[in-house]
Amino acid sequence: MKAYVAGSRNLPGDVDTFGDLETTWRLLTIVLQRSPNFTFWILIDAIDELPDQSRSALLRRIQHLIAQDLGGKLKFALCDRNKPPGGGAVAGSNAISWLEITGRDKVADDVRHFINEKLEDLCSRSEISWQYQNMIEESLMEASEGNFLQATLAWNHFKGGVSYWSPQVIKSRLDGLRSLSGEAKTFYCSLLARIPEDSHLLAKIGFTWVLGSRKPLTLTELQHAVSISTGQSSWSDLKDSLGFNFDSRFDQAFGYLLN
In this structure, the answer to whether residues 7 and 77 fall within a common structural domain is: yes
94 in any annotated domain: no
In this structure, the answer to whether residues 164 and 209 fall within a common structural domain is: no
76 in any annotated domain: yes
pLDDT in tens, 132-166: 999 999 999 888 877 777 788 888 888 888 889 99
In this structure, the answer to whether residues 181 and 224 fall within a common structural domain is: no
If one compares 130 and 45, the residue with the highest pLDDT of the two is: 130
Measure the CA–CA gap between 213 and 239, rounded to whole angstroms.
21
Nearest to 150 by CA among 191, 119, 117: 191
Measure the CA–CA gap between 76 and 228, rounded to whole angstroms.
16
Query: Angle at CA 159, nearest 5°, toward 155 and 161?
Result: 135
pLDDT in tens, 229-246: 877 888 888 888 887 777
Q: How many CB atoms lie within 10 A of CB 155?
A: 19
Which of 54, 88, 122 is at the close of a domain? 88
Measure the CA–CA gap between 102 and 81, rounded to whole angstroms.
10
Whether 80 has a pLDDT exceeding 80, the answer reads no
pLDDT in tens, 43-70: 877 777 777 777 788 788 888 777 777 6
Quote the domain boundaries for residue 10. Answer: 2-88
In this structure, the answer to whether residues 163 and 212 fall within a common structural domain is: no
In this structure, the answer to whether residues 219 and 161 fall within a common structural domain is: no
170 in any annotated domain: yes
pLDDT at 129: 92
Number of domains within the chain: 3
CA dihedral sign, ordered 8, 13, 17, 21:
negative
223 in any annotated domain: yes
Query: Angle at CA 223, nearest 5°, toward 212 and 244?
Result: 165
In this structure, the answer to whether residues 180 and 199 fall within a common structural domain is: no
99 in any annotated domain: no
Measure the CA–CA gap between 259 and 148, rounded to whole angstroms.
13
Q: pTM here?
A: 0.41
pLDDT at 134: 92
pLDDT in tens, 182-226: 666 677 777 777 788 877 888 888 878 877 777 777 878 888 888
pLDDT in tens, 83-103: 554 444 444 444 555 555 555
pLDDT at 190: 77
pLDDT at 107: 73
pLDDT at 109: 81
Question: Taking the chain, what is the end-to-end CA distance rounded to the nearest angstrom?
Answer: 46
Q: How many CB atoms lie within 10 A of CB 33?
A: 12
Q: Where are the alpha helices (DSSP H) in the chain?
A: 2-5, 21-34, 52-68, 104-124, 133-144, 148-159, 167-177, 180-193, 200-212, 219-226, 235-241, 246-250, 256-258
